[in-house]
Amino acid sequence: MARMKFLCDAERCIECNGCVTACKNEHEVPWGVNRRRVVTINDGVPGERSMSVACMHCSDAPCIAVCPTNVIYHTEEGVVLHDKDGCIGCGYCFYACPFGAPQFPNGPAAFGARGKMDKCTFCAGGPEENHSDAEFEKYGRNRLAQGKLPLCAEMCSTKALLAGDAAELSDIFRERALRRGKGFEAWGWMTAYGKDKEEAK
Amino acid sequence: MKPRFPLGLPAAVAAFVLLAGCSEEPQVVQYEQGKYQGKTDSRPWEGGAFNGDKTAWERALHDRVRSQNEYRRVE
Amino acid sequence: MLIKKSAAPGNASRQLPGPVARHLGATMDRRAFLRRSGLGAGAGVLAAQLPYNLIGSADAANPGAQSATGGEEVRRTVCTHCSVGCAIDAIVKNGVWVRQEPVFDSPINLGAHCAKGASVREHGHGEHRLKYPMKLVDGKYQKISWEQAINEVGDRLLKIRAESGPDAVYWIGSSKHSNEQAYLMRKFVSFFGTNNMDHQARICHSTTVAGVANTWGYGAMTNSYNDMQNARAMLFIGSNAAEAHPVSLLHILHAKETGAKMIVVDPRFTRTAAKADYYARIRSGTDIPFIWGMLYHIFENGWEDREYIRQRVYGLDKVREEVMKWTPDKVLEVTGIAEEQVYTIAEMLAKNKPSTVVWCMGQTQHTVGNGNVRAMCILQLVLGNVGVSGGGTNIFRGHDNVQGATDVGPNPDSLPGYYGLATGSWQHWCRVWGVDYEWVKSRYASEELMTKSGITVSRWIDGVLENPADIDQPGNLRAVVYWGHAPNSQTRGAEMVEAMKKLDTLVVIDPYPSATASMAAMVRKDGVYLLPAATQFETSGSATASNRSLQWREKVIEPLFESKPDQTIMYAFARKFGFADELVKNIKLVKDKQGWDEPEPEDILREINRGTWTIGYTGQSPERLKLHMQNMHTFDVKTLRAHGGPCDGDYFGLPWPCYGNPELKHPGTPNLYDTSKHVMEGGGNFRANFGVEKDGVSLLAEDGSASKGAELQMGYPEFDDVLLKKLGWWDELTDAEKAAAEGRNWKTDLSGGIIRVAMQNHGMHPFGNAKARALVWNFPDPVPLHREPIYSPRPDLVDKYPTHEDKMKFWRLPTLYKTLQDKVRDISKEYPLIMTSGRLVEYEGGGEETRSNPWLAELQQEMFAEVNPKDANDAGFRNGDYIWVESPTKARLKVRAQVTQRVAPGTVFLPFHFSGWWQGRDMLEFYPEGAAPIVRGEAVNTATTYGYDSVTMMQETKTTLCRVSKA
Ligand code: SF4
Ligand code: SF4
Ligand code: SF4
């Protein structure tokens, strides 16, 4: 069974915001709501790295744990979705999410649901009839049900952002990592292994 | 205003009884750890393009994943 | 704890189970029902499925074909935002563009897009578009009808033409036109009777085109984005590909991953630099000393490719003399790059071959732009990297069709295909057009003006403002037509509004009102017309990507609002001007929905095919291009060649030169001048375009340097009837070909017979086989020389490396160099910081189109300037403050400070995509109502200064001066 995940390759992400825009396009996400964002560290100096971040579709999702109305759920593929009809817009998930993924649209135009939480759906729609107007209005398109993957990843300019079954993604990434034949530039490498080296300097 | 259960409380709320009659309004928001209370959702391969053929759906996704790997087309 | 949504095993059916269905009474609250069904195990899937499945069973039987359901159609088009040429599948339903899907099959982008490409569907909304023709009345734009617009504009231009001659009207075409539109525009303006026309290429890569073509034959990217995967080292200088050509990074980072060294040299630590293996910071405007500095080490260490130079390069000795003057200490003094760094980069390029170089406007937009690009060519020649897969000069062009518009579009110095303006060129094209040469001549004010290059877009303002006695044409410009071009991309904006004020008539033909509309309304009360043009998604046609591949765009949607495709507007004006029949002599007209006549793009392309022999735009018939678009998956990503399938053997998009008739089936040329391939397989060699000898030295290539399979393995001149007869091959022509070829050469033989015989029968290149010229004797600096920018931060170096002498008649205008440089020699005391400009990934060009797109506008909401912390602290402002950036023209820009080490102390960087503010003031009120871009900001070019390249009139934007203060 597929376990859906994102993987952003920091060696490739060029902060072009293609992913952010693809998401806006596919789901008609209104101004002010960003299901996906690109964050950059060391901006403008050597060591600059960017990462595209959305809902991580956590296995042990804090948002699910805290939602007072219990309207956030996991699909069988591990996608974290929620039911806007039962959402009270309290923002508890916003507190709990380590990535700032939940968004709180402002105004009636936003997915027809004022103040309801909105977040990345892994392009899997929500609890409405697949491909129905209701699903599109509240949650955006359901690409998974069309046999397609998230548009943000499919359109990524450098194929930095990957989406799909975690096992298959790691195959893709492993191949790249092998080609590079080096590790210390990779995201998190220094944190994981580089301490002594840095201190020794 | 109906009382709301503080989140810190253990999930001790009695199960919501499903009545055969139809028009009862639920009186409180239910909180129970581990229980999704929103609408159910269908699975991606149900209806639509795949009409319940899960294998076909998995195959489609598998192909799609591979299109994210340019090494497959280069060399 | 995991929470799984409940779903009944085995109950994948969408049918409602009987008992539950019975509970669905009208009395039941929908939400309550749904909530309950969430609890009821086993009944899960039935929940939200009313109304029932929208998709019919016929489609369900065909998994994966869903996008084609419900009346949805797929139209394949190409992104219009840069020269990479990323393919797009547009999903259209009931005439509405509802979705955009990645085209994984495209060998160019494999489905990928940057923010701009991922946003193009917004064109189908177009809320901020120019919706109908408008006219400035008493300072406000008012709606008028198309008929009124064509009549009034037409009458005004005809009146000016009658009073002051055709050269009093200036036409600014577009690099966003398709090939067909750009080509038709050159023809259209010629029939109006002037060479006063230009487009974005002037201010983007004109120095490249001139410099590179004069070095070895064709002024274009030699290889391709894809081919960079074969490089072992890549030098980016004056290119920020990660922002300007994002999807090229797909290939570049892939190459890096497989071991290629990536080097960036730039005044800014760009996002491209962030991905590089090696970065060096250079002082803006000192590229030649840096390149000579590298060559110094290359020559010192004997890293040059001697055999290659002997066979294929002319005049390198003179270059070597100049290079050896650039000792490391001098290079450091001028460029700021230390010897060790210069050496390292030179070594990386020399020892990791094939190595390639990439440049963009960081090299071209200088007073020494033509020298910069030739120095790059020389570097690659010395290393033997040209005509080699993985090598070459990968010149990334800007707009999606700037290459095509340069090739066949409205250029002031040439007819389509770089034929020039000589009488013979005119006669060639008149034959193709099917019109009488004498008639065309009669349209011009004189034969002299017909053969003289027009004014450039970079200088049109001087065409208006200059003293008429000093202009090299009958009088000043009185009308300007901005046909798909932004005004804020040209320098000296402060003077531009003066020129706009002085004009009799100003016309904008564009999908967006553009900054022209607001700038004009700011200073004028009337005499301005705005006509809505359709975008490339509302018509069809071909576009040439940077790698010379042509791609055909299908029409996605009908033109929105009242807009019309450019070719339709051109034809309407041709009718008004009285040369409609001549314009479309060989071109079919089709009626659009409103009954207007549209010249058919396919037919225009066929006419291009019939005439453009010089650069091989002859083999790309619409049929072949369409076949490529439908069979993208058959092309190899690294070589761009199709293996099997209907396009077997072709290179994707038939990259020009694709010689001969379509029937010759030339596959296109993936890498120029590649002698390792047969000419019928896309091989070639350097062009014999500059005679066969110079001062007693042969210019032809040495023996053994001809392309694979050439019958004569030696240098040879270009083919004409005489050479064919001498070689005894004349009788290989058919009788019809003989009749057409008699007295002609390969460029003017309309039968294509000479090309066929030379290439197919004998494996020879129709343009001959010569050496590349390291010494371009017909340019002001035959060997590229360092010359300080006119506004230099270094008076001491101005004395050592002064600019050119002033020129009196240069593209019809007097042009200042030395006198101005002397005058401002010490101005850096008042304006101590270098002001430079560049791109942002979210926006394109002048930016009105992309800043009108909410998906993009949200990502960059304010104009800013990057300032080093040191300069910010010295001037007393902080990150995020509003500051004034003031240039020596006294124009002041109010922008947000972005304090960052991306720029070095002493350099200020500003993005050039903004407009809609004027020296601190929002120009919203000057836009037509509802058509202003969402994001507005100061245009950097409001403040840029004087300075032009000595060959092409390219404007200097990359090195000028400024000072900053807190606002
Ligand atoms: S997966 Fe879909 S919803 Fe989530 S960020 Fe990507 S495009 Fe947006
Ligand atoms: S599209 Fe890809 S490269 Fe661009 S910002 Fe998103 S993840 Fe990074
Ligand atoms: S702007 Fe260029 S790189 Fe971006 S999607 Fe369009 S063609 Fe591709």
Mean of per-residue pLDDT scores for chain B: 66
A105 φ, ψ (degrees, to nearest 5):
-60, 155
Per-residue confidence (pLDDT) for residue C309, from 0 to 100: 95
> Are C939 and C515 within 8 A, CB to CB?
yes
Cα(C85) to centroid(ligand 2), Å: 18
Rounded Cα gap, residues C114 and C859, in angstroms: 13
- Bridge partners, C479 (sequence order): C169, C505
* Count of Cβ atoms closer than 10 Å to residue C879 Cβ: 13
* A142 in contact with ligand 2, CB cutoff 6 A: no
* Spans of chain C, pLDDT less than 50: 1-68
pLDDT at A179: 84
* Alpha carbons C219 and C205: distance in angstroms, whole number: 9
The CA distance from C390 to C412, in Å, is 34
For residue C248, which atom of ligand 3 is closest to its CA?
3
Give the per-residue pLDDT at C284: 95
Please give the residue range of the domain that contains residue B75: 44-75
Counting Cβ atoms within 10 Å, is residue B53 exposed (0-12), middle (13-18) or buried (19+)?
middle
- Asked, for residue B32, whether it belongs to a domain, the answer is no
C780 token code pair? 């002001």
SS3 for C192-246 is: HCCCCEECHHHHCCHHHHHHHHHHHCCCCCCCCCHHHHHCCEEEEECCCHHHHCC
Which chain A residues have a beta carbon less than 8 Å from that of B70?
159
Nearest C-alpha of chain A: how many angstroms from B45?
Answer: 6
Residue C901 half-sphere exposure, CB side, CA atoms within 13 Å? Answer: 8
Identity (one letter) of the amino acid at B46?
A: E
- Residues of C whose CB is below 8 A from A88: none
Strands C907-911 and C864-867: antiparallel
Pocket test for ligand 3, best of C78, C84, C243, C553 (most atoms within 8 A of CB): C84
What pLDDT, on a 0 to 100 scale, did the predictor assign at position C42? 29
Answer whether residue B49 is part of any domain: yes
Domain that holds residue A122: 4-200
Which of A21-30, A130-139, A143-152, C807-816 comes out lowest in average pLDDT?
A130-139
The residue that leads in pLDDT, B74 or C114, is C114
User: How many Å is the Cα radius of gyration of chain C?
Assistant: 29
Which chain C positions have a beta carbon within 8 Å of A86's beta carbon?
31, 35
- Other beta carbons within 10 Å of C390: 23
Instruction: Taking each helix axis as running N to C, give the angle between helix C566-577 and helix C146-164, from 0 to 180 degrees, rounded to the nearest 10.
Output: 50
pLDDT, mean of residues A37-63: 93
User: What ipTM did this prediction achieve?
Assistant: 0.90
pLDDT, one tens digit per residue, over C402-424 is: 999 999 999 999 999 999 999 99
Tell me if C892 sits within 8 A of C943, measured CB to CB.
yes
The tokens of C824 are what? 């401002």
Dist CA C153 CA C668 (whole Å): 42
Instruction: Look up the pTM and report it.
Output: 0.89
How far, in Å, are A44, C206, C236, C334, C695 from residue C363 at the CA level?
22, 11, 10, 16, 31
Regarding predicted confidence, which is higher, B38 or C94?
A: C94
User: What residue type is C706 in one-letter code?
Assistant: A
Number of domains in chain B: 1
Position C30 scores a pLDDT of 30
Cα-based torsion angle of the residue sequence C776, C778, C780, C783 in order, rounded to the nearest 10 degrees: 20
Expressed in angstroms and rounded, the spacing between residue A162 Cα and the centre of ligand 1 is 11
Number of DSSP helices (H) and strands (E) in chain A, helices first: 8, 6
pLDDT of residue A89: 84
Of A25, A59, A76, the CB nearest to C118: A25
Residue type, C53: N
Report the pLDDT averaged over residues A45-53: 93
Nearest residue to C561 (alpha-carbon basis) of C535, C540, C541: C535
Asked if the structure places residue B15 within a domain, the reply is: no
pLDDT, residue C618, reads 95
Rounded to 5 degrees, φ, ψ at C227 are: -65, -20
User: How many angstroms separate the Cα of A3 from the Cα of each of A6, A82, A161, A175, B63?
Assistant: 10, 18, 16, 20, 15
When divided into structural domains, chain A yields a total of 1
- The candidate with the shortest Cα–Cα distance to C331, out of C372, C368, C290, C282, is C290
Instruction: Give the mutation target among A8, A20, A35 for probing the ligand 1 site: most ligand atoms within 8 A of CB.
Output: A35
pLDDT one-digit tens code per residue, A174-191? 988 888 876 545 555 555
SS3 labels along C805-854: CCEEEECCEEECCHHHHHHCCCHHHCCCEEEEEECCCCCCCCCHHHHCCH
Q: Output phi, psi for C404, to 5 deg.
A: -65, -40
Tokens 């030696």 locate to: C714
Query: Please, which residues have CB within 8 angstroms of residue C965's CB and are 6 or more apart in sequence?
Result: C875, C876, C877, C883, C884, C886
Residue C317: φ, ψ to 5°: -60, -45
Give the pLDDT score at C237: 96
Structure tokens at C266: 């730039």
Which residue puts its alpha carbon closest to atom 7 of ligand 1? A23
For residue C888, how far is the Cα from the chain centroid?
A: 30
pLDDT at residue A104, as a whole number: 84
Tell me what pLDDT residue C57 has: 29
Ligand 3 atom, smallest distance to C118 CA: 5
Strand segments (E) across C360-510? 393-395, 479-483, 505-510
Can you give the pLDDT at residue A116?
84
pLDDT value at A111 more than 60: no
In degrees and rounded to multiples of 5, residue B65 shows phi and psi of -60, -45
Instruction: Please state, in angstroms and rounded to a whole number, the distance separating the CA atoms of residues C281 and C292.
Output: 16
What spatial distance separates the first Cα and last Cα of chain A, rounded to whole Å? Answer: 46
pLDDT at A107: 58
The first and second tokens of residue B33, run together, are 């750890």
A89 in B contact zone (CB under 8 Å): no
CATH number of the domain to which A94 belongs: 3.30.70.20
Secondary structure E strands in C341-451: 355-359, 393-395
> Residue C801: phi, psi to the nearest 5?
-125, 70
Residue C142 pLDDT? 96
Asked if residue C361 lies in contact with residue C238, where contact means CB atoms within 8 angstroms, the answer is yes
Spatial distance between the Cα atoms of C148 and C55, rounded to a whole number of angstroms: 48
The pLDDT of residue A2 is: 77
Give the nearest ligand 1 atom to A54 CA.
5
Quick one: which of C307, C243, C314 has its CA closest to C690? C314
Q: How many CA atoms lie within 13 A of C218 on its CB side?
A: 32
CA-wise closest residue to C620 among C408, C386, C763: C408
Q: Is A16 in the pocket of ligand 2 (CB under 6 A)?
A: yes
- What phi and psi, each to the nearest 5 degrees, are found at residue C823? -65, -35
Residue B75's pLDDT band (cuts 50, 70, 90): low
CB A38 near ligand 2, within 6 Å? yes
B66 within a domain of the structure (yes/no): yes
Q: Which of A124, A131, A176 sits opposite B48 (nearest CB)?
A: A131
User: How far is it, in rounded angstroms, from Cα C101 to Cα C646?
Assistant: 24
CB contact under 8 A, B68 and A164: yes
More confident residue, C777 or B42: C777
The one-letter code for the residue type at A13 is: C
Q: Which ligand 1 atom is at minimum distance from the Cα of A6?
A: 1
How far lies C484's CA from each of A3, C175, C550, C699, C849, in Å?
48, 8, 21, 41, 11
Asked if residues C631 and C215 have their Cβ atoms less than 8 Å apart, the reply is no
C937 Cβ contact list (under 8 Å, min separation 6): C862, C863, C895, C914, C915, C916, C917
